[in-house]
Amino acid sequence: MTTTTALIVAAGRGARFGGTQPKQYSRLGGKTILRHSLEAFCNHGAVDAVRAVIHRDDADLYRASAEGLPLLEPVAGGDTRQESVRLGLESLAVSAPAQVLIHDGARPLVDPATIDRVIQGLGERPGAIAALQVVDSLKQGADQVISGERNRDGLWRAQTPQGFHFEAILEAHRQQSGQSLTDDAAVATASGLTVGLVQGAEGNIKVTTNDDLATAEGYLKLRQGLPREEVRSGQGFDVHRFGPGDRVTLCGLAIPHDQGLVGHSDADVALHALTDAILGALGAGDIGEHFPPSDPQWAGAASDRFLAHAGALLRERGGRLANLDLTLICEVPKIGPHRQAMAARIAEILDLAPDRVSVKATTTEGLGFTGRREGIAAQAIATISLPGSADERD
């Protein structure tokens, strides 16, 4: 029986990623990038064992990423990727599998069919790598000006896994140790091994930058059958009664009037309805839960902070506001002259483009409490988009 071990190379520092944490430990769809890579091989029926090569400083991060997976003990890597792979191969010399699949820990979305093709390729040659034919035209550039054309015929972009007969690649790595070769196929060919090219996959990207991470998220959702984004809406409704005063606060603006609005905060009925609409779209309760009227710290509070809080919750969830539509229902004061300024203030509170906010007004033709000029009602609809997610059920 042919034994196949996967060696997952995750010892890099990921300097290009920014932040303090190596890129393979960043999260993608609820798991670390490295865990996705490890799972892909642990779950593949033709792979008998999986070992990671990690940086000696990452032992804790690795343990958290690898929890519960059937893995060989990790080994520490070296100063370069090439050295890390060699150390990983040396650690397998005792068990000596027939073949080894070397894979970048930062390629989380490798699919089973790509792994199959690499293994199949090893039936014909001592090496086989996942790769994609170059389809874009190639230009030579100098000072950002084209200085020549390059023929793309016969050019491939190398991915991983890169599979090899174990003894052959171990020997090649020993021979080429200290060179600065960028991948194991280069090590193999430098030692005279024949390496086949098998079809890789566009989704099998190496996550190096934050842009790559966003691209990987898109591929992951595609694979899970999830939309990249999903649209949700929420509605809010509020009423405050008139009382003594010389102005009402609506949409954060003081509007002169011969009465005020009664409430625990500044009684800004419009911002309360908008806040509830956003909270509703998020399924995040209502304004009274977030800012209890029983709490004295909100007495007389300016309501823009309530709306800004709802906007911050939305951003924390990775969402954005598509639009807000507000209707104020009252006989007095006249809303028309203030509509634009109101919309602009709402947009400002939420850091939105003004055309995403609509403020409308209507009366109830003299009917009901607003018709009797007892107070003002406001209703609002918020439409938001959130990152697509699976339905979580118990």
Could you list the residues that contact Mg ion (CB under 5 A)? 238, 272
Residue 68's beta-bridge partner residues?
Answer: none
Q: Which is nearer to Mg ion, 272 or 338 (CB)?
A: 272
Structure tokens at 242: 């008139």
| Residue from 72, 69, 123, 131 nearest 98 by CA | 123
Q: Which is nearer to Mg ion, 161 or 263 (CB)?
A: 263
Residue 292 CB, nearest distance to Mg ion (Å)? Answer: 12
| Residue from 125, 104, 128, 126 nearest 41 by CA | 104
Q: Which is nearer to Mg ion, 117 or 272 (CB)?
A: 272
Q: Which is nearer to Mg ion, 160 or 275 (CB)?
A: 275
CB 134 within 8 A of CB 157: yes
Residue 237 CB, nearest distance to Mg ion (Å)? Answer: 10
CB 8 within 8 A of CB 84: no
Q: Which is nearer to Mg ion, 53 or 239 (CB)?
A: 239
> CA-CA distance, 124 to 194, in Å (whole number)?
10
Q: Which is nearer to Mg ion, 44 or 272 (CB)?
A: 272
Residue 385 CB, nearest distance to Mg ion (Å)? Answer: 27
For 201, phi then psi, to 5°, come to -145, 140
Of all residues in this chain, which one has the CB nearest to Mg ion in the complex?
Answer: 272
Own/partner long-range contacts of 208-215 (Cβ < 8 Å, ≥24 apart): 208/14, 208/16, 208/17, 208/23, 208/106, 209/16, 209/17, 210/17, 210/18, 213/23, 213/26, 213/28
Tokens 């709306």: give the residue.
307
Q: At what angle do helices 33-42 and 112-121 cross, to 10 degrees?
A: 60
How many CB atoms sit inside 10 A of residue 243's CB? Answer: 12
Residue 279 CB, nearest distance to Mg ion (Å)? Answer: 13
Q: Which is nearer to Mg ion, 58 or 276 (CB)?
A: 276
Q: Which is nearer to Mg ion, 238 or 304 (CB)?
A: 238
Q: Where are the beta strands (DSSP E) in the chain?
A: 4-10, 27-28, 31-32, 49-54, 75-76, 99-104, 127-133, 138-142, 145-150, 156-165, 195-199, 229-243, 247-250, 253-256, 260-261, 320-329, 357-362, 375-387
Could you tell me the CA-to-CA distances from 150 to 133, 157, 202, 273 in Å, in that order?
A: 14, 15, 22, 61
Residue 263 CB, nearest distance to Mg ion (Å)? Answer: 6
Residue 301 CB, nearest distance to Mg ion (Å)? Answer: 11
> CA-CA distance, 18 to 15, in Å (whole number)?
6
Residue 303 CB, nearest distance to Mg ion (Å)? Answer: 8
Residue 240 CB, nearest distance to Mg ion (Å)? Answer: 6
Q: Which is nearer to Mg ion, 165 or 272 (CB)?
A: 272
Structure tokens at 235: 């509605």
Residue 270 CB, nearest distance to Mg ion (Å)? Answer: 10
Q: Which is nearer to Mg ion, 61 or 310 (CB)?
A: 310
Residue 208 CB, nearest distance to Mg ion (Å)? Answer: 49
What residue type is 37 in one-letter code?
S
For 305, phi then psi, to 5°, come to -70, -30
